[in-house]
Structure 1
């Protein structure tokens, strides 16, 4: 009986011991939630934000996967600060006052995927800080005070895919700073003090897919700025307020599908840098002071589907502007200065799905008539275009027009040239003449001048078409004579007016000539001209030529004498005599004997 009681007591003691050991083991692996933190055991999350912490808490639960230390006063991370958190996946240290991170501070976080260090006071990141993070994919170091990226700063982050480094004080990026980032896909370098694109550093990122540059002080994009980035698909450049030009080969080597250059100072579409981007699908040039889209210059962008040019100074889209763009689906030119958009600007309107034309001073006439049959199928982005220049349709949406109103609203008036006389203009040789051509129509017609050789005249040169529609011939010559044509054109048609220009040459007796006969002759350039005909010389011209020739000869001789004088002075005392020694010839033999030689003779010559 007593033996049974002893066995029973022994079993109870063993059970109590095992339970105590289990509790002790459990307390070892599941430590209590640190003070100033909030724990979520189900999510294995530890939230210590806004806890007034000055250092990272000790004795953190080892099974923590999410650690939030934001909005504290942590200043320093020491070496191997998180070595007891091998399962940690996400670490957020944003919004602290951190200025120092020691080398190997994150050593032991072998599972970490996301690391955020934004909005601290870091000025430099020592090489080796990111050691021991083999699985890290996202690094956020935005809004710090980092001045430079040193060589091999990120070399241990072989799995890193995203770097956010916006709003730092970066002035230089070393050429080898990005070495080791073989998996990087997206890089953001916004709001820095860089004065040039870090081309050499970017060449290390052969796998980069997206590159963002925001608010940089760069005025010109230099040639080959992005070489060796063959896999880059998206390039975003925004708020470079001094950027006015892109060099011709600045985008050379890229195979972009999306390009954004907005809030800059481009005054023209950069056709030359864009022309080789044959894979480009999306182009955004919004908020630039671009005034025109020229015709037939987008044709190389065969795959372009979207063009955004919002909030600019766009006043004209030429006929054929989008010629060759067979896949063009979206055009957004809202908030510009356009008065019209003609159907001839497109390769085909059948592919167009979205059209942004709102907030433009549109003239609703026949040039916009093509929009009417498509107005129920086009997406205007919730803001259909309005007519702002017509009294009958002012401030009315296209969608509000009824079928009965359209014939009287969207109309054009055929151009008509008003001043039909004179049809013949005479001018003396060497004088300047201006021929006026005035036309009316709705819309106001454009005026073009055609030369006698049937070529349009440009606004440049001695014979040019002025901006007011006039023809100017400066210093008229006999060969300028002929029939010129003024052509007035608008969407409703054209009108023309021929003008005959006759230039009176100088009479042959206007000048007296001095004729030289028999001095020289030239072959006749045309039949019927006498080959012995005297060559006329103008007396005044002959006197001027003779005077110039004499002065040139006199000047040359004077220079030679002066040179010889100074040269002789530099040689010191000169001898005025010269002694010459010579041997005379042998005398002829007499009576078969040998000839005799005369002695060597000398004589002295006086130099003058």
Structure 2
């Protein structure tokens, strides 16, 4: 039985070799080309060809025409090559591809037209390519994708349309790409996300948008892309804002937002992404990662934020992230990274802290203790402070050095004298709260209502730790709390402020550059003084002011009539009599609404 099987396999081997020899014998090679009969490949790359060569073998599977001077691909140019699977037309000067140029290539799987001079793709140019899997039309000059441009490519899985001059993608341009999984659109002139066009790609799993000039990612920007798993937004220097619902509806596992202009982590936009595992926000001017705002990303495993402006990662920033394995915050401005940042440092595997101005004190002791188990990816973090260990790598510290270098001194408020102030309304008050410790402690003030006071406003915490109350009001009265804190502990003091108000009916307020000043009027004993304070002008002043106003009115009327007289002399005969109705002020005439109207009649001579 075994011999019969061996004989059968031997017969098949002979038959296979005979068919290969027959195919090789039929495999003719055009001039200037190099042919490989064993792989059924024809290589005509960089042969200065100005047209598709004649005499191509009908059974060729791979044809390379890249790097030539081809200008036009004519209709049914490759119709006889029904077995062709891979066609490379890249790096030519092709500016025109006629409709049905690829008709007959029913087995074509991979088509490359990269780096040519195409400006438009006529509808029907890809007709017949029903089995194409990959299409590369990058690095051309294409301006627009028209409706149904890719309609016949029902099995296309990857489309690279990057590095074109796209200004518009029609809503139905991607109709027919029912199997497309990956789309790249790089360096285009699009001014908005082609949401309607993208919504046709129901099977899309990876989308790359690189070097666009869009400033805001709008709500529902990727509506309908339920299968999308990887979204890459790269090199958008104008992108400053992600609307809160810009990524709603997506089930991403990988999100990359790099080389943009985001000044903060877009927490509101990320909260929907419960399946997210990989997040890259590198090369954005992000200053801090706040606490307890990433907890909804329950599956997050990696965060990359390289080359930003990070000054602080707050305690609890990654709280609740039980799968968190990798943090890369290299090349930032971090001075430390506290253990309380993480849900559990036991699950952390890779940590990149290199190229940060790290202060080596007790806050980094947990990193030193785990330096044998943590993976620093070959780039050890180094100390910048204190000076005696400047640029010393974490791995180079001995156990004996740890209690000497990686220490902290608890925060302590220096001036603990009683500070109680009792002032009148409108006074400026300042309370001192200077603190010492290692590392330098942070000082915060709580108001009498137990709210944290900021550095702006009428009641503000100053940079030197003091509290300033400007133009104190009665409602400012109460007890204020100053707290100084660092990694080793905290200290606090309280101060008291009592503000006494002044009677409003006996005060007049004025504002000076230094403070509000309250001035009390002396009690008046005669009615004339009270009257003068109630009416600031006497009767004589009122009469003079009224007379001057009336004379000014008559002077204006006289000037107008003089002007009309001289103007009428140049215009011929006109009516020289004018009647003017004059209604005096009620205060002058003593009448009400029913008073008679005075009338002046004036005649020009």
**Superposition TM-score, scaled by structure 2 size:** 0.80
1:65 alignment counterpart: 61
Q: Decide whether the 8 Å contact of 1:392 with 1:409 is kept in 2.
A: no
Matches within 5 A, 1:47-196: 47-196=43-192
Question: Do 2:105 and 2:129's aligned partners in 1 also have CA atoms closer than 8 Å?
Answer: yes
Give the direction of change, closer, same or farther, for the CA distance of 1:561–1:64 in structure 2 (3 Å limit). farther
Q: Matches of 1:414 and 1:554 in 2, distance apart?
A: 79
Residue matched to 2:243: 247
Q: Is the 2:310–2:334 contact (alpha carbons within 8 Å) kept by the matching residues of 1?
A: yes
Do the aligned residues in 1 keep the contact of 2:257 with 2:282 (CA within 8 Å)? yes
- Structure 1 runs (4+) greater than 4 angstroms displaced: 26-29, 507-512, 538-544
Structure 2 residue runs of 5 or longer lacking an equivalent are: 1-21, 509-529, 537-584, 598-605
Contact (CA 8 Å) 1:139, 1:163: kept in 2 or not?
yes
- Aligned equivalents of 2:34 and 2:24: distance in 1? 19
Q: Distance in 1 between matches of 2:417 and 2:531?
A: 45
Q: Secondary structure at the match of 1:396?
A: coil
Distance apart, 1:328 and its partner CA? 0.6
Q: Deviations for 1:94-137, whole angstroms, at most 9, x for unmatched residues?
A: 01111111100000000000000001110100000111111100
**Residue aligning to 1:436:** 432
Q: 1:490, 1:383 → 2: CA distance?
A: 28
How far residue 140 of structure 1 moved from its aligned partner, in angstroms, is 0.3
Which residue is equivalent to 2:320? 324
How much has 1:436 moved relative to structure 2?
Answer: 2.3
For residues 359 and 28 of structure 1, the distance between their equivalents in structure 2, rounded to whole angstroms, comes to: 60
**1:217 matched to which residue of 2?**
213
Counterpart for residue 503 of structure 1: 499
- 2:532 & 2:383 partners in 1: Cα distance? 70
Per-residue CA shift, 1:245-278, capped at 9, x if unaligned? Answer: 1111111111111000101111111111111111
Give runs of aligned pairs for residues 476-495 of structure 1, distance below 5 A: 476-495=472-491
Provide the C-alpha distance between the structure 1 equivalents of 2:218 and 2:532, rounded to a whole number of angstroms.
Answer: 57
Equivalent residue number for residue 590 of structure 1: none
CA-to-aligned-CA distance 1:142-164 (integer Å, 9 cap, x gap): 10010100100000000000001
Matches within 5 A, 1:510-529: 510=506
> How far apart are residue 507 of structure 1 and its match?
6.0
Q: Determine if contact 2:335/2:356 at 8 Å carries over to the other structure.
A: yes
Q: 1:334 aligns with which of 321, 330, 334?
A: 330
Structure 1 position 260 matched with structure 2 position 256: yes
In the other structure, the counterpart of 2:557 is none
User: Which consecutive unaligned segments of at least 5 residues does structure 1 have?
Assistant: 1-25, 513-537, 545-552, 566-608
Residues 127 and 152, structure 1, Cα contact 8 Å, conserved in 2: yes
Q: 1:28 Cα deviation (Å)?
A: 12
Aligned counterpart for 2:308 among listed residues 301, 307, 312: 312
**What are the equivalent positions in structure 2 for 1:311-390 lying under 5 Å apart?**
311-390=307-386
CA pair 509-212 structure 1, distance change in 2 beyond 3 A: closer
Q: Which residue does 1:420 correspond to in 2?
A: 416
For the Cα contact (< 8 Å) 2:287–2:310, is it kept in 1?
yes
Tell me the alpha carbon deviations over residues 587-606 of structure 1, each in whole angstroms, 9 at most, x when there is no partner: xxxxxxxxxxxxxxxxxxxx
CA contact (8 A) 2:24 2:38 kept: no
Preserved contact between residue 29 and residue 61 of structure 1 (Cα < 8 Å)? no
Whether 1:470 and 2:449 are equivalent positions in the alignment is: no
Structure 1 length as normaliser, TM-score?
0.79
Q: Secondary structure at the match of 1:351?
A: coil
